[in-house]
Structure 1
Amino acid sequence: MAKVGRMKLGSQGLEVSQQGLGCMGMSAFYGPPKPEPDMVALIHHAVQSGVTFLDTSDVYGPHTNEILLGKALKGGVRDKVELATKFGASLISEGKFENRGDPAYVRAACEGSLKRLDIDCIDLYYQHRIDTRLPVEVTIGELKKLVEEGKIKYIGLSEASASTIRRAHAVHPITAVQLEWSLWSRDVEEHIIPSCRELGIGIVAYSPLGRGFLSSGAKLIENLPEGDYRKHMPRFQPENLETNKTIFERVNEMAAKKGCTPSQLALAWVHHQGNDVCPIPGTTKVENFNQNIGALSVKLTPQEMAELESFAAADAVKGDRYRKDARTWKNSDTPPLSSWKAV
């Protein structure tokens, strides 16, 4: 099995495994929740394999994924992991979310996560989605207080614009930005990645396997269970899938030549983006987890990187990565601080 090394994430001292484990699919959004004993065993296997950077959120379930992680961390496991959770996507009704970053909500969300995870301090606490009604400085100001109180160690953002990241970082250093980055989701490369690098902020790539598409292609869609929200994502709709499946076929051909799986090849591409990038592929199966860490052994030349990128050029990928009604979830800006009056 490939050796999982360590890496520095950001400039504030956080060190994590070179690859993390996204835990969302164990409890939410990708079909029914998976059996708890199996998921606890998978988390323990990950930690024993050297993958110690675990990613969850209060909205996964909601709440049930954090409870699962809390159980998995018992018996001395907590001290071996770097635990990231998130707040900000508040479920207001079935499938409807409201993004919140007001100080009272931030504090209540943090207290709730600490309780469900049954821990004293969160290693990395992300604003999961940006509240576009509120200056980001207000949210970060409350997170800064939580750092000072010892409830969280490091602050992160997810799906924030470059200007929002800069403004947040001016209030308190941002350790990591989590964003969707894969062979077929590369919109972050123009402004957000360069801004993170300029500020010394670590990059955490979620959905590095294109939500599973870069692992198994169009047959992924055929096998999705009821309730899996990927069924509604634009790239997986029939009118786009016909074109997009060509991308997988090309990745698959190149993987066969290199003697690895398509998912290992796609994941290796993310790893080759730099030593400040940590992908967090999610899985619910031990064999897929083992395959994912095998990507660390796949070496790519600059020519192979360019060839891979040519398969999934921006004009080759059909469909947005989120539905139109989720636009506020992407690369979000917030109003200026001068516009805000504390209530």
Structure 2
Amino acid sequence: MRTLGSLTTSDIGYGAMALVPGMYGDSDDRQALATVRHAVTAGATLLDTADAYGAGENERLVGRAIAGRRDEVQLATKWGIVFDGGRTLTHHHAQEIRVDARPERARDALEASLRRLGVDHVDLWYLHFPDPGVPLEETVGAMAELVAEGKARHLGLCNVTAEQVLATHQLHPLAAVQSEYSLWTRDPERALLPVLSELGVGFVPWSPLGAGFFAGDVRTADQDFRANHPRFAGANLAANRDRFARLRDLADELDITPAQLALAWLLHRGEHLVPIPSTRTPAHLDENLRATDITLDAAALARIDALAPAGAASGSALL
């Protein structure tokens, strides 16, 4: 177990976004429910979803999966993304994300999530993205009121800067911050991670396996959302497969999989860091969880740093 602020969670969580149809290919409800239930049984008890995943359907799915098992999980969801109105944020992966995090929307958003999840509170409630038209402090203030009412136990922020963390943590303690972090996206090391460590705020890396790049020998990704991801575009994908091939060699030397190497490396980055890899199958979930049993010595960690330094990936990151 690990802690995110004052929230105790499993050391590896489960990101349910992969179960949204079309994200990583097809996923039927029976398979999806079985995977979430297996995650809980296997010990990945930090379950991460969002009201934007499948326009609320992902929350309903997670709610069905944990029915009768609420006390076994740490339930996290997010709000702020909208599909009508809001302010448009354009990202490198050619997708427009619209955000409306006005304080007056917070209560309705959380209560709608609770209804879909079938619970009376969530353990960790994140703002999915800062709203460029609303001071972040105002949004967090509205979220804090719902914590005081017990509808959310802990607050978190996603996709924020170190400066934004410093400004909001003094208004209400943050349990965790989510940001992309993996062997090919190491940007948080520059400013964000030192600030979180100083404040005692946990860190939850999303896309810890590089959108599946480190989970298998990806040769094409044109059948799911990665078709618009620059790092999976033809020449970039070929360059990245070559550039990170030696990590696969190292994983072979250690008799582990590349995914386990990537997750074990993350777990060695700090005691208050909990990655949330996504997968659609119980078998891959079990493979991921075995990363908690892997100890990387100083020599292995130095080799990883040399093989996957910051900025090594070809193509821009997701955000």
In the superposition, the TM-score normalised over structure 2's length comes to 0.93
Note if 1:279 corresponds to 2:275: yes
Per-residue CA shift, 1:21-73, capped at 9, x if unaligned?
00001015514551112211111111111111100000100111001011111
Query: Which of the numbers 12, 15, 18 marks the counterpart of 1:19?
Result: 12
Instruction: State the partner residue of 1:147.
Output: 147
Question: What's the CA shift for 1:296?
Answer: 1.1
Q: How many angstroms apart in 1 are the aligned matches of 2:76 and 2:227?
A: 27
Match of 1:298 in 2: 294
Q: Which letter does structure 1 place at the counterpart of 2:3?
A: K
Measured in 2, the distance between the counterparts of 1:29 and 1:309 equals 33
The separation in 2 between residues aligned to 1:110 and 1:313, in whole angstroms, is 39
- Give the whole-Å Cα distance in 2 for the aligned partners of 1:214 and 1:31: 14
Q: How many residues align?
A: 310
1:229 aligned to which of 225, 229, 247: 225
Q: 1:28 touches 1:60 (CA, 8 Å); kept in 2?
A: no
How much does 1:217 deviate?
Answer: 3.3
Quote the Cα distance in structure 2 between the aligned partners of 1:181 and 1:53: 18
Alignment check: 8 A CA contact 2:12 2:289 kept: yes
> Which residue is equivalent to 2:218?
218
Q: Which residue of 2 aligns with 1:122?
A: 122
Shift of 1:316: 2.4
1:37 alignment partner in structure 2: 30
| Rounded Cα–Cα distance in structure 2 between residues aligned with 1:247 and 1:280 | 25
* Alignment-mate amino acid for residue 17 of structure 1: S
Structure 1 residue matching 2:198: 3-state secondary structure: helix
Aligned mate of 1:8, from 3, 16, 19: 3
1:176-325 paired onto structure 2 within 5 Å = 176-219=176-219, 221-222=220-221, 225=223, 228-322=224-318
- SS of the residue 1:208 aligns to: coil
Structure 2: distance between partners of 1:312 and 1:134: 37
CA offsets per residue over residues 252-280 of structure 1, 9 Å max, x none?
A: 11111111111111111001111110011
Residues 281 and 315 from structure 1, CA distance in 2 versus in 1: closer, same or farther, beyond 3 angstroms? closer
Partner amino acid, structure 2, of 1:83? L
TM alignment of 1:62-81, pairs within 5 A:
62-74=55-67, 76-81=68-73
Matched, 1:89 2:81: yes
**Unmatched segments (≥5 aa) in structure 2:** 86-94
Q: Could you tell me how far apart the structure 1 residues matched to 2:48 and 2:21 are?
A: 13
Aligned-pair identity in percent equals 38
Task: Call closer, same or farther: CA 1:156–1:244 in 2, change over 3 Å.
Answer: same
What's the CA shift string for 1:177-229, capped at 9, x where partnerless?
0111111100010100001111110011111110110122332x25x53xx11
Mind listing any 5+ residue stretches in structure 1 that lack a counterpart? 1-5, 323-329, 331-343
Q: CA deviation at 1:115?
A: 0.9
- Measure the CA separation in 2 of the matches of 1:78 and 1:89: 26
Deviation at 1:97, TM superposition (A): 2.6
Give the residue type in structure 2 aligned to 1:47.
Answer: V
TM-score in terms of structure 1 length: 0.87
Q: CA deviation at 1:96?
A: 3.9
8 Å contact from structure 1 (residues 216, 248) kept in 2: no
RMSD of aligned residue pairs (Cα, Å): 1.5
- Give the secondary-structure state (helix, strand or coil) at the position aligned to 1:45: helix
1:77 maps to a residue whose letter is R
Are 2:185 and 2:311, in contact at CA under 8 Å, matched by a contact in 1? no
- The 1-side partners of 2:22 and 2:157 are apart by 21
Q: What one-letter code is carried by the residue in structure 2 that aligns with 1:60?
A: Y
Measured against aligned partners, the alpha-carbon deviations of 1:115-145 in whole angstroms (never above 9, x if no partner) come to 1111100110000111122111100110111
Contact map agreement 2:184 2:311 (CA 8 A) in 1: no
3-state SS in 2 of match to 1:122: coil
1:304: how far off?
1.1
1:250 Cα deviation after fit: 1.1
| Deviating 4+ runs (over 6 angstroms) | none
How big is each residue's C-alpha offset from its partner over 1:289-309, in whole Å with a ceiling of 9 and x where there is no partner?
010011111211122112112
User: Per the alignment, in what secondary structure is the counterpart of residue 54 of structure 2?
Assistant: coil
Paired with 2:312 and 2:180, the residues of 1 have a C-alpha distance of 18
Whether contact under 8 Å (2:128, 2:158) holds in the other structure is: yes
Counterpart secondary structure, 1:175:
strand
AA of the residue aligned to 2:13: G
Q: CA deviation at 1:315?
A: 3.9
